[in-house]
Amino acid sequence: MYKYNDFDEAFVRSRNAQFRLQVERRVDGSLTEDEFKPLRLMNGLYLQLHAYMLRVAIPYGTLDSAKMRQLAYLADRWDKGYGHFTTRQNIQYNWPKLSDVPDMLDALADVEMHAIQTSGNTIRNVTADHFAGASADEIEDPRPIAELLRQWSTDHPEFQFLPRKFKIAVSGSPTDRAVTRAHDIGLRMVRNEAGEPGFEVIVGGGLGRTPMVGKVLREFLPKADLLPYCEAIVSVYNLLGRRDNKYKARIKITVHENGLDKIRELVDARFTQIRPEFSGVDQEHLAEIERHFAAPEFVSGPTAQYQTARDTNPAFRSWSDTNLSAHKNPDYAIVTISIKAHGQTPGDATSDQMRVMADLAEQYGHNELRISHEQNVILPHVHKKDLPAIYASLKEVGLATANIGLISDIIACPGMDYCALATARSIPVAQQIATRFDELKLEHDIGELKIKISGCINACGHHHVGHIGILGLDRAGVENYQITLGGDGTENAAIGERAGPGFAYDEIVPAIERLVLGYLDMRLDAEEPFLQTYKRLGAGPFKAVLYPEAIKKNAA
Amino acid sequence: MSQNFAPKIVTANHLVEGDVIYLTENGDWSRNHSDAEFITDEARAAIRLGFAEAQQERVVGAYLADAKLGPNGPAPIHFREDFRSRGPSNYQHGKQSEQTNV
């Protein structure tokens, strides 16, 4: 876990002190809203439908118990006893008062957290594989690089007024769990022919209004070149990116309009120019950062309790089938705690739940927690003997849902229940789908299926890369939901294809039910997941089950 | 009254608390949609919006929203305004739990 040095501490404290005075000047009328708005956004404070919303960064999704407890404290003291984990490894508080926000930021600084650059046209929170430092398939822990990028991008004088927001994701594994291909810059660790680790650099990915899968700008970038190369990319974008049209301002459009070759040429030229200025200080600093991320001292010991619990407790077995992933240490497991209990709001955790997760991390998990972009919480390092005890504790607070990767493990943005940009609700649709398939008792039979729901075209709910994506729109003053099929957020990223006309609010859940029951009829066997069946058969048969009336009409 | 003018109310968010508020006929702000001034004249709407926008120290983001007359006073037309007048649908938070005056 990275520990702030004196510089970090002083920087965050001074930003908070500035913001406190800015809030005071806004409240006493010295600042207009037009003057104040960019200042509050720089510090993660939005005004949403019903209240302000504070978005707090959880850099590369990593937390320790003290940080998680402090998030719970904020929820109790200044909000309504819960927080919402987002698809970019942030946590959002939906009900703060403007006058309380400076105190909230100070409380965050007490545990080395902040809300800086969680909004605005800057480089946002750098996200990473939520299994970083733990997964069996990893080349290297990507978090030191992510921390280096965080420090470099924070208050970077050249990049405070970019054409539009800029998002970077890092994966230390060839298996992409960080959706790197849907980011402005995606960094995926790979090895070259000599076996050395470096990064595949992906640029110009993004969802939103114009979804695009990122393109490979460099197949292999040596680690030592990473910072100057990223600086070259953002620098080229800063000059070339469009400022005349907000909807064409993201780097994905810059890459699309100029072509990848042209971008590569410009980036290479800029890189050649600035590379010598990176004298190696960044690498020395990186080495210092890496020391903070040393792997915990794993303990060895028998894991028989785990097997016994699996043999004797079917509920535990079911949970361990879905919620555990392979750890690099065979005696350990990665635990994904589902923040998706059936019928609950995806990503919302109460302060009590946060404290239980903090306690479990402290007692059993080398004091580490992660937040995934899929809005779940992870205990990355758990000895298998402790899994039954963890499961029992989670069960007491409603956190033992065995549904990771299944149909009720839905990503949903806040939608029109909170968000000022939304065109329709997301949360109740997610709640109803989860509840319905829990009633049908089909979830485990259906197997791996990712449903992702966005309440507007900006696609915070990643619907384009859902196996089934749902996009909520406003059609003539009524909520309407479009379905996309075949999206994929992994290293084989694909944008889902729109299935056809949208469905009304009360029709969308039955439509999803038809679609999924149709899949069960069409799949070769229980081993063929939804996405594979879709790839094998194409959209046709799925559209037929979604729109039976259209088929009848055509046949008539 | 303009024949083609769809009736409006003036709404905004409270500067400090962020809560949704509505401009009343006597120039105060209420948290209840039904207390809003029901504006049926385009020129009056512009004047009232200007009045609201001038209260920078009190409100944020004032705008005109379509409304209709309900049994208790002005009621929202669009579902967005309906949600704003009540609160989120996943919890009993916001106005639906705290009907109070500013």
pLDDT tens digits for range A247-260: 999 999 999 999 99
Are the Cβ atoms of B88 and A28 closer than 8 angstroms?
A: no
Domain boundaries, chain A: 6-109, 127-291, 318-396, 411-555
- Per residue in A490-523, pLDDT (tens digit) is 999 999 999 999 999 999 999 999 999 999 999 9
Residues of chain A numbered 348-377 and touching chain B (CB < 8 Å): 348
Instruction: Specify the DSSP class assigned to residue A457.
Output: T
- Closest-CA distance, A513 to chain B, in angstroms, reads 22
Quick check: A93 contacting B, CB < 8 Å?
Answer: no
Q: Please list every residue in chain B whose beta carbon sits closer than 8 Å to the beta carbon of residue A97.
A: 16-18
pLDDT at A385: 98
Buried b (16+ CB within 10 A) or exposed e, A319-342: bbebbbbebbbebbbbbbbbbbbb
CB–CB of A428 and B17 under 8 A? no
Q: Which of B13, B57, B88 lies at the smallest CB-CB distance from A47?
A: B13
Q: How confident is the model at residue B99 (pLDDT cuts 50, 70, 90)?
A: low
Q: Could you give the ipTM of this predicted complex?
A: 0.94
Residue A126: closest CA among A172, A155, A90: A90
Residues of chain A with Cβ-Cβ distance to B98 below 8 Å are none
Residue A550 has what pLDDT?
Answer: 76
A–B CB contacts, 8 A cutoff, strictly below: 76
Q: Which fold has domain A318-396?
A: Alpha-Beta Plaits (3.30.70)
- Rounded-to-10 torsion of CA B93, B97, B101, B102: -20
Stretch A198-213: mean pLDDT, rounded? 96
* Residue in A with minimal Cα distance to B58: A27
Q: Count of domains in chain B?
A: 1
Topology of domain A6-109, CATH = Alpha-Beta Plaits (3.30.70)
Check if A242 contacts B (Cβ < 8 Å): no
Q: Do the domains A127-291 and A411-555 sit in the same CATH topology, yes or no?
A: yes
For residue A149, which of A10, A255, A12, A2 has the smallest C-alpha distance? A2
Q: Does A473 touch chain B (CB under 8 A)?
A: no
Q: Within a domain: residue B1?
A: no
What pLDDT sits at residue B4? 86
Q: Which positions in chain B touch A99 (Cβ < 8 Å)?
A: 16
Residue numbers in B near A479 (CB within 8 A): 79
- Average pLDDT for residues B79-86, to the nearest whole number? 97
Question: Are A97 and B88 within 8 A, CB to CB?
Answer: no
Average pLDDT over residues B3-27: 96
Residue A51 and residue B91: Cβ atoms within 8 Å?
A: no
Q: How far is B19 from chain A (nearest CA, A)?
A: 5
Residue B102 forms part of a structural domain: no
pLDDT over threshold 90, residue A138: yes
Average pLDDT over chain A, rounded to whole? 97
CA distances from A494 to A216, A253, A441, A469, B79 (A): 14, 17, 30, 12, 33
The closest CB to that of B93, out of A47, A48, A80, belongs to A80
- Show residues of chain B in contact with A50, CB under 8 Å: 18-20, 84, 87-88, 93-95
> CA of B100, closest CA in chain A: separation in Å?
14
Share of chain A above pLDDT 70, in %: 99
**Interior angle at CA B47, CA B44 and CA B50, nearest 5:** 150
Averaged pLDDT for residues A99-106: 98
Domain membership flag for residue B99? no
At B101 the pLDDT is: 43
CA distance linking residue B39 with residue B33, whole number of Å: 13
CA–CA distances in Å: residue A64 to residues A69, A81, A113, B66:
9, 20, 11, 48
Residue B15 has its nearest CB partner, among A27, A48, A417, at: A27
Q: CA geometry: angle at A99 spanning A94 and A105, to 5°?
A: 70
CA A209 to chain centre: 18
Quick check: B102 pLDDT over 60?
no
CA distance A228 to A282: 9
- The set of residues, in sequence order, having a beta carbon less than 8 Å from that of A380 and lying 6+ positions away, is A130, A131, A132, A133, A134, A327, A334, A365, A368, A369, A370
pLDDT for res A556 = 58
Q: What is the pLDDT of residue A432?
A: 98
In a domain, B41, yes or no: yes
CATH level 3 topology of A411-555? Sulfite Reductase Hemoprotein; domain 1 (3.30.413)
Across the interface, whether the CB atoms of B89 and A49 are under 8 A apart is answered: no
pLDDT of the residue at A294? 95
Point out the residue among B13, B78, B91 whose CB comes nearest to the CB of A477. B78
Among A26, A49, A342, A344, the strongest candidate for a mutation testing the B interface, having the largest count of B CBs within 10 A, is: A49
CATH topology of domain A127-291: Sulfite Reductase Hemoprotein; domain 1 (3.30.413)
pLDDT tens profile A289-316: 999 999 999 999 999 999 999 999 999 9
Q: Is residue B71 in a domain?
A: yes
Domain assignment present for residue B101? The answer is no
Residue of B57, B83, B90 lying closest to A29 (CB–CB): B57
Closest chain B residue by Cα to residue A417: B88
The verdict on a CB contact (< 8 Å) between B84 and A428 is: no
Residue B44 lies in domain: 8-89
Residue B54 included in any domain: yes
A95–chain B Cβ distance below 8 A for any pair:
yes
DSSP assignment letter at A100: G
Q: Give the minimum alpha-carbon distance from A357 to chain B in angstroms, rounded to a whole number.
A: 23
Mean pLDDT of A449-476: 97
pLDDT of residue A555: 66
Q: What is the structure's pLDDT at A549?
A: 84
Is the CB of residue A476 less than 8 Å away from at least one CB of chain B? no
List, for residues A167-205, the tens digit of each pLDDT value. 999 999 989 999 999 999 999 999 999 999 999 999 999
